A and B are shown apart, each in its own frame.
Chain A
Amino acid sequence: MKIITAIIKPFKLDEVREAMTEIGAHGMTATEVKGYGRQKGHAEIYRGAEYIVSFLPKIKIEVALPDALVDRALEAIRLAAYTGHIGDGKIFVSPLERAMRIRTGETDSDAL
């Protein structure tokens, strides 16, 4: 099992969700986050007081998947979240040791 963590542009969330449903991934957690990468930040000016805002709003999604789906999921997220402009985000994949569905007590792949 793997957990995919992706940082995407906020307005791309719905497209990513649809793409993940199409490949058969059921369930996703989305969080509003702030961060910076190559896009860096922007300047805000209030009556001449200039503030550099280096943390931009992004959405972080987390999806737990069986190993077999990971490659397709990577491609699906990339295509759905793509705009071609700087700041499109990043996808991380990490190993997932165990999982359990709280309602039934099913474990690991059955719980995904």
Chain B
Amino acid sequence: MSIAMDPDRTGATRRELLLAGAAGIGAMLIRIAPAAASPATMQRAIRQVVGEAPIRKGKVTLDVPALVENGNSVALTIEVDSPMTAKDHVKAIHVFNEKNPLPDVISAHFGPRAGRAKMTTRFRLADTQTITAIAEMSDGTFWSASADVIVTLQACLENLD
């Protein structure tokens, strides 16, 4: 009589299989979760910076190419419409993304000495996604702009298995 013919033995094997399967799915979820930010994590990151203040559309110009061949280096220019005086200036510009491993891109801090609230940098894009820039003004208001970028060669995750 072989072990496989024993009904108790077969039941235990099936239970073990189900448990192993569930554990496997669980492990997959845990592995996938930290590998990508999502629109929800971007919103959380934005709320961490902005708090409960309302964010209005406008004043911010976000200049990124609409179609990117190489996500490893993408030019990004942000300009905010502001007179940049001691009374009325841009305090900070924060840039967020939806699908890189982390939602933050850059936080730049300005003052009236900047003269012009404009900056350029180069950043990475892990996937086709929406970029959001938020400007924090000296009067405590927040303004935003978003742009969609299509990426053909992705950055950040190239060696991640």
A and B associate in one complex:
no
B contact set with A: CB distance below 8 Å = none
A contact set with B: CB distance below 8 Å = none
